[in-house]
Chain A
Amino acid sequence: MSSRYDRAITVFSPDGHLFQVEYAQEAVKKGSTAVGVRGKDIVVLGVEKKAVAKLQEDRTVRKIALLDDHVALAFAGLTADARILINRARIECQSHKLTVEDPVTIEYITRYIAQLKQKYTQSNGRRPFGLSALIIGYDDGPHLYQTDPSGTYHEWKANAIGRSAKTVREFLEKHYTDEVAGDDKECIKLTLKALLEVVQTGGKNVELAIMKNGQPLKMIDSDEIDKYLAEIEKEKEEEAEKKKAKK
């Protein structure tokens, strides 16, 4: 309709790029890191907790959001954009339950979020969402999905988004084995180790959440995180000693 025509902001460049989408991906790279690891019976989400100002109240859960009893989401990028997406996804989870009488599959809700993101890359006068999301959950098995501002989504065994995501992903590629996947504790430790590549050591700087079949999302409190960190430290020392012994 001629009266409603608006100049679109996301248009193709002469060489086929959507620059607004690419700039959105740059915004994601500035966000704080999030890591996801999928094991055989567990899915782990770890996020970097940015240090809060002295006078600011430290709210524990901000970056890991629950979408339904069996789905959780962590994001990297614009927090305000994430709030909107999370709200819409939460409503869709319930709406799906109402019309189909079944909880959403992780693939379905990921597809919904991805479709929403894509819509905003093709709309009049709107900019894309500036965030990537890691979606974990359980339907017939554990799943980990990642979406990005362009609206594509993929399933991963382990992935990282946000600041230094490439470094973390390379670390995960080196250390993710089927053996690790088979053991819950090893998955948690792998997530922590991956985060520690880019984050300062200490239980106060990371937030960890796990999801197991039939159980609600469990946030690991900082004492337990410190215990895992101590274990990781011990293992590192043992490795270093072995190397010395060989020499």
Chain B
Amino acid sequence: MALADVCGIKQNQFSLSGSAFRSDTSELFRDVEVGSNNFSMPFNFDPVENLQQFQQQDSKVKIHFDHGTTTLAFKFKHGVVVAVDSRATAGPYIASQTVKKVIEINPYLLGTMAGGAADCSYWERVLAKQCRIYELRNKERISVAAASKLLANMVYNYKGMGLSMGTMICGWDKKGPGLYYVDSDGERLTNNLFSVGSGSVYAYGVLDSGYKWDLSVKEALDLGQRAIYHATFRDAYSGGVVNLYHMKETGWEFISRTDTAELHYKFQDEKKK
């Protein structure tokens, strides 16, 4: 860069401390100029070292990541059902009852949010950009496997640097309904059924007892809603409303937003019958 030459700065001074990134020194400026997926790092800064002070138990500035949530998704004959709660907590304080924990990546891909809200929404937006570029270059939609792998690989570059993200990528592609669990440890798994968050233990109980591949659409949506409700009933960090989505061959459809209080009385009445 011309400015660098004028100031007499030698290029080698700006080498990135993490060798996981590209070693070509001019890449540092490109991140700022062009706007890429990677972050520009200040000189002499190691994220892992710096993060220790925020992670140690007895530190005065410990950052507490909230994984208080219940999210679930499962594949069945007619697609994928995605159900999430909407509570955000900061310790014992309920910060919000109306958080959107399903991120609409594009009309045929959904991502759920658990862990750090900023991390989830930022990286899933980057994923949306990458999916769109793939679509334009290859003249066909990206597969769920490829999209989830892109996200997992992006996030793996920052492993150990304090990202907190536990997301489920749901979609419908050429191979049928697709469901992948991706987290900030670099884990990427596929299965018919997943639940993520502090309330997932309770949701799994209800899901496992009611799940079948051959559920009808109505039964599946009901199961998803029921599982989230039961999780919010027992888990203090989950609550608010249940947001329900159905992923079909033609794309996702937002089904309903139901208050958990309403569901409580509905299921109570059911038991009385």
Contact = CB atoms under 8 A, between A and B. Distances in A.
A2 interface: yes
B49 interface: no
Contact of B150 (A99, A102, A108): A99
Interface in A59-115: 99-102, 105, 108
A101 B146 contact: yes
Contacts of A53: none
A216 B143 CA distance: 25
A123 to B, nearest CB: 16
Interface of B: 1, 5, 11, 26, 138, 143, 145-146, 149-150, 153
Contact of A100 (B1, B11, B26, B149): B149
Nearest to B137: A111
A100 B146 CA distance: 4
A100 B140 CA distance: 13
14 contacts: A1-B1, A1-B11, A2-B5, A99-B146, A99-B149, A99-B150, A99-B153, A100-B143, A100-B149, A101-B143, A101-B149, A102-B145, A105-B138, A108-B138
Given A1-B26, A108-B138, A100 B145 contact: yes
A12 B66 CA distance: 60
Interface of A: 1-2, 99-102, 105, 108
Contacts, number: 21
Given A101-B146, A102-B145, A108-B138, 15 more contacts: A1-B1, A1-B11, A1-B26, A2-B5, A99-B149, A99-B150, A99-B153, A100-B145, A100-B146, A100-B149, A101-B143, A101-B145, A101-B149, A102-B143, A105-B138
A101 B190 CA distance: 13
Nearest to A98: B149
Contacts of A108: 138
B134 to A, nearest CB: 9
Nearest to A96: B146
A229 to B, nearest CB: 41
A102 B140 CA distance: 13
A201 to B, nearest CB: 44
A2 B3 CA distance: 12
Contacts of B153: 99
Nearest to A111: B137
B121 to A, nearest CB: 23
Nearest to B134: A100
Sorted nearest first, the 7 A-B pairs with minimum C-beta distance are A100-B146, A101-B145, A99-B149, A101-B146, A102-B143, A101-B149, A108-B138
Contacts of A1: 1, 11, 26
A2 B11 CA distance: 12
Contact of A102 (B5, B11, B26, B146): B146
A99 B148 CA distance: 10
Contacts of B145: 100-102
B152 to A, nearest CB: 10
Contacts of A102: 143, 145-146
A229 B150 CA distance: 51
A1 B12 CA distance: 14
A137 to B, nearest CB: 16
Nearest to A4: B26
Contacts of A99: 146, 149-150, 153
User: Which among A2, A100, A102, A105 has the greatest number of chain B C-beta atoms within 10 A?
Assistant: A100
Contacts of A105: 138
Contacts of B150: 99
Nearest to B147: A100
A92 to B, nearest CB: 14
A99 B130 CA distance: 13
A101 to B, nearest CB: 4
Contacts of A2: 5
A116 to B, nearest CB: 15
Contacts of B5: 2
Contacts of B146: 99-102
Nearest to B4: A1
B145 to A, nearest CB: 4
B206 to A, nearest CB: 32
A108 B146 CA distance: 15
A217 B116 CA distance: 50
A72 B26 CA distance: 38
User: Which among B1, B11, B146 has the greatest number of chain A C-beta atoms within 10 A?
Assistant: B146
